[in-house]
């Protein structure tokens, strides 16, 4: 039975708790259509805004509205920087998001850093850390200001965690800063190419300049939240611009130290799924520990007659992604022993 058939029959049997929207790689620019670096995929820079408008209309019309939308990064394209249109394009896209009736959580991708510095982003509307929740009496679950990550509770017993996949990165930093120098050293140790965006000849092809990674500090924070969630029998959804599971992604698109993130996640029971963008063809795999890795198809490479977004419906025993256009439906059953009893 395919996923679409499953979706129609399975959701009749259990109670819907809440839902949320997902969308990735809008990469808006007021430019004629172009192509990706390899010249194999068409990029619809202008139409991406119309795709976003269509997604918002759909979410606003849902009879039971989603609690929030997760925007998986690369909201405007790096070409805006070359045309001095970064702020104008961001304003246009953010004004479009204003028409959505529910909050949006923004993650940061490489194209955010082509347009803006990390300091600029921290003080911009793309910083949605104000939507975070604090866990009373658990100071270890408060993220540091050194990276852009936070967590929140959209519904009792569910925790969403936004990760900063460019915490280790050469993008968006002042070249004279110690962190830039530290990240450049890591990148060059793994990538001897003169052009650091090129994965040519690499045995770890994810070590390119347009990717990044997670610091030990951020991973240790993630570990503390997942420990809290395990103890409190919560279900966790993790979100990042960069994917972390090789079988669900083009290997060139993975986070630098995806293995370190997987090791933390696999040490816990609570994680249901990991949503990412960046790999515009999308992808899915359930890993051996029962974590579902869903990479959402990029809006930027979605033809005008199609769509690319989804709504995830959350039940006591599973989550169901209803994809629109080229985003497929997915069923994400919870690990058997961790099904919730309400």
Ligand X SMILES: Nc1ccn([C@@H]2O[C@H](COP(=O)(O)OP(=O)(O)OC[C@H](O)CO)[C@@H](O)[C@H]2O)c(=O)n1
In whole angstroms, give the CA distance from residue 292 to residue 5. Answer: 19
Closer CB to ligand X, residue 67 or residue 171? 171
Q: Kindly tell me which residue out of 198, 227, 306, 333 binds ligand X, with binding defined by CB under 6 A.
A: 198
Site for ligand X in 264-283 (CB under 6 A): 278-280
Q: Kindly tell me which residue out of 64, 146, 197, 232 binds ligand X, with binding defined by CB under 6 A.
A: 197
In whole angstroms, give the CA distance from residue 27 to residue 240. Answer: 16
Closer CB to ligand X, residue 210 or residue 309? 210
Site for ligand X in 22-61 (CB under 6 A): 36-37
Using the rule CB under 6 A, give the single segment among 146-154, 192-200, 221-229, 302-310 that binds ligand X: 192-200
In whole angstroms, give the CA distance from residue 269 to residue 337. Answer: 9
3-state secondary structure 168-187: ECCCCCCCCCHHHHHHHHHH
In the chain, what is the straight-line distance between the N-terminal and C-terminal CA atoms, in Å? 29
Site for ligand X in 66-95 (CB under 6 A): 74
Closer CB to ligand X, residue 77 or residue 167? 77
Closer CB to ligand X, residue 85 or residue 311? 85
Residues β-bridged to residue 168: 213
In whole angstroms, give the CA distance from residue 137 to residue 158. Answer: 18
Using the rule CB under 6 A, give the single segment among 118-126, 142-150, 179-187, 193-201 that binds ligand X: 193-201
Using the rule CB under 6 A, give the single segment among 118-126, 140-148, 150-158, 194-202 that binds ligand X: 194-202
Q: Kindly tell me which residue out of 80, 107, 110, 206 binds ligand X, with binding defined by CB under 6 A.
A: 110
Q: Which residue is nearest to ligand X (CB)?
A: 197
Structure-token pair, residue 338: 């961790």
* Residues making contact with ligand X (CB under 6 A): 36-37, 74, 110-111, 195, 197-198, 210, 250, 253, 278-280
């Amino acid at each position: 039975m395919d996923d679409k058939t499953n979706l129609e029959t399975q959701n009749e049997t259990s109670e819907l708790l809440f839902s949320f929207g997902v969308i990735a790689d809008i990469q808006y620019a007021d430019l004629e259509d172009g192509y990706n670096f390899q010249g194999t995929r068409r990029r619809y820079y202008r139409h991406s805004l119309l795709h976003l408008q269509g997604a918002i209309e759909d979410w606003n019309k849902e009879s039971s509205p989603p609690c929030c939308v997760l925007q998986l990064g690369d909201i405007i394209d790096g070409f805006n920087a070359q045309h001095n249109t970064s702020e104008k394009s961001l304003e246009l896209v953010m004004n479009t998001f204003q028409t959505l009736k529910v909050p949006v959580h923004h993650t940061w991708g490489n194209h955010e850093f082509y347009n803006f510095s990390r300091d600029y982003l921290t003080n911009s509307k793309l910083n949605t850390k104000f939507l975070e929740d604090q866990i009373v009496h658990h100071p270890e679950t408060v993220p540091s200001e050194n990276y852009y990550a936070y967590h929140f509770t959209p519904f009792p017993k569910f925790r969403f965690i936004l990760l900063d996949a460019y915490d280790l990165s050469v993008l968006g930093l002042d070249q004279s800063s110690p962190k830039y120098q530290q990240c450049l050293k890591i990148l060059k140790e793994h990538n001897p190419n003169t052009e650091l965006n090129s994965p040519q000849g690499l045995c770890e092809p994810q070590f390119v300049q347009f990717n990044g990674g997670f610091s030990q500090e951020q991973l240790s924070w993630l570990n503390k939240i997942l420990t809290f969630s395990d103890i409190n029998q919560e279900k966790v959804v993790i979100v990042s611009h960069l994917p972390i599971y090789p079988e669900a992604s083009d290997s060139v698109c993975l986070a630098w130290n995806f293995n370190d993130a997987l090791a933390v996640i696999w040490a816990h029971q609570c994680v249901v799924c990991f949503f990412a963008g960046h790999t515009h063809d999308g992808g899915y795999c359930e890993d051996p520990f029962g974590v579902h890795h869903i990479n959402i198809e990029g809006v930027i490479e979605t033809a005008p007659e199609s769509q690319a977004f989804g709504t995830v419906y959350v039940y006591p025993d599973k989550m169901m992604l209803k994809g629109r256009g080229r985003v497929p439906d997915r069923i994400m059953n919870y690990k058997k022993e961790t099904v919730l009893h309400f």
